[in-house]
Structure 1
Amino acid sequence: MAEAIARVYSLTGAVPRGTRGEKGAILALRDVLGLETDIADTNSRTGALIAFSLGVEWLPSYEERNKVNLDGMNALLEGAAEAYRLGSFARLAARRPAGLDDPKWSAFEPAASKIEAVNRISQLTGSGPERLGPGSKEQKSVLINLSTNLVPHLDTRLTKTKLGKALAEFFGAPWTDQCESTGETISLTGLNTLLAGAELRLGRLGIARAMLLGTPEQEGKALAAALVDGWRATTDEGGRRRVLWDGRESIAWMEKQGLTRGPNDNEWQGFYYEAKGRELLNAAFTPNPNPPRISYGRTDFDYSLQFVWDLKAHTEMWRTPSTGAVTRGQSAAPLNDQVAMSQCIGEQGLGFLMVGGVGIEDEDGSFVAWQREQKKAKGVKSKPSNSGRSRRRKAGFEPQHVEAFFFHDREALTGALLAGQLTGFNQGLQAPDAEGEQGRARRPKFNLSVGKARGSDLAVARFEWPA
């Protein structure tokens, strides 16, 4: 549900209202469609009205106790996405700076987030990808590059906010108090003001409604940076700064989002990364009105802007809490079904946004015991192992970096196989339903030899979490 809600906010351009559940997203759709509803209308009644406006069939099964369930939200989202693609509704101007109300700015499409804004500005000058600094602050480099390329006579030694104001004045864009915030920081309003001015100056205002970076390399760098910026480091009991995905907390988050498989899985960190990562990317980047195909057979890849990406978590190392000992994990990371990958790569290319990190060993077995109790309480039966042995479990996961890899075409796929960067493997059987039975066979997958891939043309980007 959380992903559907985030995608509605991104699609409509609305600012999250802080309301619980789906209500805020439904009101955002109502507003962007210009519908009038009674203050006493329930979410389900408003949802039905929106569906009628979008030409979407509204089924009774979409409603639960006057609320809209996940199937209903997905139906509304699908209809809204099609309307957006056809240009039959415009995104709300909630992020549009107040000063950009003159008709000459009407074609401007505001960035949904700071990470989108700085990368769109950087794209205008061909200055390479940008990422945010500590506290989600924009780097001064994005302004220096903008000035150097478009307004070379400006003194780039000015403070960041003064340089931003000088650039806006040169572009004829209104710089207001809302463009700045405390600590020499430029707000999203300020970045959108500079983006609008630069686009107008270059004759590119309104050319692209979505943030479509020109190449897979540019897009991969922007997405990887956004993922690293999405999880902030905290200080642990030992005074060390790190990002930590606690197993119990991550599972609780997934359950709150209505996910059914991830909370019950041994590799919970992979499902958490996929779900939370999609939420972060949906919030950070304006959606593509004409997205590429992401479904191939039974495989649905996780995310797309102009290109298709899948999110993978790779346990590179293991840490034993009692001793602090660190041991190596697997050198290869499992990817996806070979047939689905080959088809997608052959049609349009395929990328992977891979988080690498350290698995925190469930040394005393307390985490797996807790997880099994949680499953039992939900009526989910823990399946036996095919081998009869219990696998090493993680009570937590400490992500250290996000890397982007991209396969441009079948030639790149073949080259990676010949170079040993990619290998095929037959997955083990699925867990059996009962003791003494054998699990069902699974389709062959590809493995990525991460170390070899890092030194190849497949590697697009790598961003570290600060130590």
Structure 2
Amino acid sequence: MLAEALDIEEDPSWTSARTAQRIANRLDLFWEPEYVDRTSVTLPGFNALLQAVSYAHAERALRRVVARSAPGLHGPEWAAFNPARSKIEAVTRIAALTGAPREWLGPGSKEHKSVLLNLATNLFPNDARIDVTSKHRLGASLAQVLNAPWSNDFTATGQTIKLTGLNAILAGAERRLGRLGEVVTDAITTPEAEGDALAAALLASLPVHWDARKAVRWLADNGLRGSNDLEWQGFYGEEKAKAILNASFTPKVPGTKRSYGSTDFDYALSWVWDIKVHTSLQTVGALTKRANDAMLLNDEQAVRNCVEEQGLGFLVVSGEAIMDHTGEFKVWHDAWKLTRSKRPPAPSNSGISKTRKTAFTPLHVDAYWVPDTLSLRAAILSGQLAPRPQGRQAPKTPGGVGSPRPPKFEMNTAKASHGIRVASHSWPTPRRGA
């Protein structure tokens, strides 16, 4: 599909390596020999393509590819249907068709029965053909009344409806309402609604417990930044969240601008969002205490420019950090970095090593939205946001002086939760060690 989005005519005989090289040529990406292993593309190759495609998407150099048909939805009558690529996209679009309350997924990414009940109530009030005695029967009867395909393969044990089943109901409802061919951005029409849907997607799919060693190795194995950083959880959470959002929602084409100066904000559907991980609780041994409400955001000027042009949102995953009070993780992390780089870590400006985190458990995910410059000024005056000067970078050599850093915005999460916050979703209970 990527080749199709770049107007590259694929030959069925091409290997994945050859297709990738053609894509790289179209994207003006130099294709290194290490990007290929025989006929396959290596992980560094995929990462290089991903970065190049991200830039192309931001520059609106891709075209929308006609959606592949969903299972059971074959033939000309369904040709215009754009299947949801995830359950969260499906339930979001189904709810929006009738203006029903926003939906989210329960544990195990399970859809709520309410998404089907609300659709049935709004489209077929008091219709005896709708069987509400179970979620499976409700889905099957809805599909029948909508004259949409249905199969036992569309359901699973535990009263679950698969994505294929949700897509069948979505297609039938869109056709009945004369809206066949809509996409997720037609359903999510405000930044507040988008923030809620994105937060719900992260709630459904983020790992419930982040182990420091596993996260550090995962970042390194995937060629991502942050494996050497003290605040590994920020990099890990950001990368996991971006992957989830990219997999959950069909992107808007052409893409929304995300780059301002040297700052690339993390994600955009119709509006731009940056992803942050915030420690709201700290556990040191047997003691758990509330952490600082302040959280660093992004480069001050980039934030101001984006807000002025189109508004800017923040998706914040807050949780409990288990602190490395014994120093065991620090010993492991320093040795691991030395093995990889063959040189000792750079010294800090203060000469004091911060206590690291051995694990992180997400507790809630919140969406914050700043629509324009006037709102940004109001948030600053109310103490929700504030520009903060930054200390120098760590020196590259002992006794040296680190490079200066431009100021960043800081958010007071306690104050912002009563101001610019537009959505919030919480995990049911703390799940340490899950």
Distance 1:218-1:255 versus aligned 2 partners, 3 A rule:
same
Q: Does 1:361 align with 2:323?
A: yes
| CA displacement at 1:438 relative to structure 2 | 2.0
CA contact (8 A) 1:212 1:306 kept: no
Structure 2 residue aligned with 1:265: 229
Structure 2 residue aligned with 1:449: 412
Aligned counterparts, 1:190-339, within 5 A: 190-208=165-183, 213-231=188-206, 243-259=208-224, 261-321=225-285, 324-339=286-301
Distance 1:178-1:208 versus aligned 2 partners, 3 A rule:
same
Residues in 2 aligned to 1:118 and 1:328: alpha-carbon distance in whole angstroms: 35
CA contact (8 A) 1:359 1:394 kept: yes
Structure 1 residue aligned with 2:376: 413
Q: CA RMSD in A?
A: 2.5
**TM-score, normalising length: structure 1:** 0.84
Distance 1:363-1:58 versus aligned 2 partners, 3 A rule:
closer
Counterpart amino acid of residue 32 in structure 2: S
| CA displacement at 1:340 relative to structure 2 | 0.3
Matched residue of 2:250: which SS? coil
- Give deviations 1:227-248, integer Å, cap 9, x for gaps: 111135xxxxxxxxxx321100
Matched residue of 1:443: which SS? coil
- Give deviations 1:353-387, integer Å, cap 9, x for gaps: 10111111101111111111111112154111212
| CA displacement at 1:427 relative to structure 2 | 1.4
Matched residue of 1:462: which SS? strand
Structure 2 residue aligned with 1:235: none
Aligned counterparts, 1:367-446, within 5 A: 367-379=329-341, 381-446=344-409
Residues in 2 aligned to 1:231 and 1:384: alpha-carbon distance in whole angstroms: 33
- Give deviations 1:167-213, integer Å, cap 9, x for gaps: 21222211222222222211111100111111111111113375651
% same residue: 44
- Specify which of 150, 171, 192 is matched with residue 123 of structure 2: 150
CA contact (8 A) 2:323 2:358 kept: yes
Residues in 2 aligned to 1:372 and 1:307: alpha-carbon distance in whole angstroms: 39
Which range is displaced more, 68-77 or 243-252? 68-77
Q: Which runs of 5+ in 1 are unaligned?
A: 1-11, 13-25, 233-242
Residues in 2 aligned to 1:29 and 1:280: alpha-carbon distance in whole angstroms: 23
Structure 1 residue aligned with 2:432: none
| CA displacement at 1:74 relative to structure 2 | 4.1
| CA displacement at 1:139 relative to structure 2 | 0.1
Distance 1:358-1:75 versus aligned 2 partners, 3 A rule:
closer
Residues in 2 aligned to 1:57 and 1:231: alpha-carbon distance in whole angstroms: 34
Distance 1:78-1:393 versus aligned 2 partners, 3 A rule:
closer
CA contact (8 A) 2:206 2:240 kept: no
CA contact (8 A) 1:383 1:431 kept: yes
- Give deviations 1:129-160, integer Å, cap 9, x for gaps: 21111222110010111112111123574311
Which range is displaced more, 304-313 or 425-434? 425-434
Matched residue of 1:309: which SS? strand
Matched residue of 1:356: which SS? strand
CA contact (8 A) 1:403 1:462 kept: yes
Residues in 2 aligned to 1:122 and 1:420: alpha-carbon distance in whole angstroms: 36
| CA displacement at 1:75 relative to structure 2 | 4.1
CA contact (8 A) 2:57 2:255 kept: no
Counterpart amino acid of residue 255 in structure 2: P
- Give deviations 1:63-122, integer Å, cap 9, x for gaps: 5444452324544676689898434x42433xx022x21312110000001111001111
Residues in 1 aligned to 2:267 and 2:288: alpha-carbon distance in whole angstroms: 33
Q: Does 1:97 align with 2:71?
A: yes
Residues in 1 aligned to 2:4 and 2:214: alpha-carbon distance in whole angstroms: 31
Residues in 2 aligned to 1:334 and 1:77: alpha-carbon distance in whole angstroms: 25
Residues in 2 aligned to 1:90 and 1:182: alpha-carbon distance in whole angstroms: 32
Distance 1:82-1:428 versus aligned 2 partners, 3 A rule:
closer
